Chains A and B, each alone.
Chain A
Amino acid sequence: MIPASFDYVRPTSVDEAVQALVEGGDDAKLLAGGQSFIPVLRLRMGDPSLVVDLGGIPELRGVREEGDQIVVGAMTTHHEVTRDDLLAQHVALIQEATKTVADPQVRHRGTLGGALAHADPAGDLAAPTLALDAELVVVGQNGERRVPAAEFFEDYFTTAIGPGEILTAIRFPKYTGWGARYEKFNRVAQAWSIVAVAATVKVEGGSITDARIGLTNMAGTPVRARGVETALVGQTMSEETVRAAAQAAAEGTSPTSDADAGSDYREHLARVLTGRAVLAAAG
């Protein structure tokens, strides 16, 4: 199907984009990589009066090091994320998760910022972003603010980005030397996650000294498996201790029941996949 008519602008700076978005009012929408948004337009699930294309703003693209953080421009594509050396060295978890997003064509166009702003509960990048304690940089007419990932994801497809605001960058602390694994359970190639687990752990002298775990599709927002993190820290690394700690993975979650899986099965998956993810990350 063909999208309904809309006006289109392609600003070349963030300031111009904010201006266009504010002037466009409630019916203006931002276009990032378009791999979720253009299908939404095609299916006529949305009919904005104005589309503000962020594709012409160089400052929104690329990965850089700033002190103890790695800063990823919101319009950096999944393809670029998977090949970036800084991320490989310091934020391996986001790279591992990004490799599993959709398919190569979608990864060539889709962006980290677009995926996080879309906030699909089955999307693969919110859970690692939460687990990694990233900060999300949001710019509006009143300047810039930084939102911790724990406050960014509010509900299904709902984030802390306000009217007239644009997500411009994601700032990750460095996890240099940590192991990482994104364990995804889905039915077929390019399908959405039924459940997935993002785990990154620090192992020193055979013991787990730190752990971060985020769950995909176990609620309307990504969920942090804090019970597992606490249970892991200080433990001697073994399959037994990891599997035992992973039993806490479904605590505090509220998974949905749908055609793919019932909520009790999702809870089971969260426990099993957490064990697998931590073992792989530590290995």
Chain B
Amino acid sequence: MARIRTTVDGLVYEDDVEPRMLLVQYLRERLGKTGTVIGCDTSNCGACTVHLDGLSVKSCSVLAVQANGSEVLTVEGLERDGQLHPVQQAFHDNHALQCGYCTPGMIMQSIDLLGDNPDPSEHEVREGIEGNLCRCTGYQNIVRAVQDAAQKMKPGAHASTSSSAAQPVAGGGA
């Protein structure tokens, strides 16, 4: 057993874990954060994507012990004061899901992408989420949602994430 201390979605946790425990198992089975899902056994699908110290990772390919001393953000930590994160809202507004299984990973990777590139082209969105598979092949609306979120998250754009603000805010904003 190894003692680990992590901050997950803003709360500090201390636990004894077996070295072989995967981060995704720790999140789901110890912390009950089942919003992060396990999609495959081959590191392909990206459904388990979370942020580790600010960078997106596949939590099935990180050991829980490797996260000792680190900060983890899961899809469950995105909402603020009852308001969805703009990327969550954009996925909702654009119907960017079919079965929904890939959605937590898609959202976490999209947030990582937009942190890096706040105004990605369609091609850049597709490259940015290449590590995430939508088994329903519903990529069209996912890409639209990411671009929609990018517009809404622009400095000067309306911070409001309500669906009534579905129209992208045009130019003008400082």
Contacts and interface: CB of A to CB of B under 8 A. Distances in A.
Interface of A: 1-8, 10, 31, 34-35, 38-39, 41-43, 51, 53, 55, 79, 102-106, 108-109, 189-190
B57 A102 contact: no
A42 B41 contact: yes
Interface of B: 2, 18-22, 25, 41-44, 46, 49, 52, 55-58, 60-63, 65-66, 109, 112-113, 126-128, 130-132
A2 B126 CA distance: 31
Nearest to A39: B43
B81 to A, nearest CB: 29
A55 B67 CA distance: 10
Nearest to B1: A8
B20 A106 contact: no
The 5 A-B pairs of least Cβ separation, nearest first, read: A103-B131, A8-B19, A189-B130, A108-B55, A3-B20
A205 B63 CA distance: 53
Given A103-B130, A104-B113, A108-B55, A43 B62 contact: no
A250 to B, nearest CB: 29
Contacts of A34: 61-63, 66
Contacts of B61: 34-35, 38-39, 106, 109
Contacts of B66: 34, 53, 55
Contacts of A3: 20, 22
19 contacts: A1-B41, A2-B25, A6-B19, A35-B43, A38-B43, A39-B43, A42-B22, A42-B41, A43-B41, A51-B19, A79-B55, A104-B113, A105-B56, A105-B57, A106-B61, A109-B57, A109-B58, A189-B127, A189-B131
Given A1-B41, A8-B63, A34-B61, 7 more contacts: A38-B62, A39-B43, A42-B22, A104-B109, A106-B61, A108-B55, A108-B56
Nearest to B108: A105
Contacts of B131: 102-106, 189-190
A48 B132 CA distance: 30
Contacts of B60: 38, 42
A42 B63 CA distance: 11
A109 B51 CA distance: 11
Nearest to B60: A42
A105 B22 contact: no
B74 to A, nearest CB: 14
A106 B22 CA distance: 16
Which residue, of B46, B61, B63, has the highest number of chain A Cβ atoms within 10 A? Answer: B61
B111 to A, nearest CB: 12
Contacts of B22: 2-3, 38, 42
Contacts of B130: 103-104, 189-190
A236 to B, nearest CB: 35
A6 to B, nearest CB: 6
A117 to B, nearest CB: 17
Contacts of A1: 41
Contacts of B21: 2
Nearest to B58: A105
Contacts of B20: 2-6, 41
A105 B49 contact: yes
Nearest to A1: B41
A128 B118 CA distance: 31
Given A2-B25, A10-B65, A102-B131, A108 B57 contact: yes
A268 B63 CA distance: 41
A251 B46 CA distance: 39
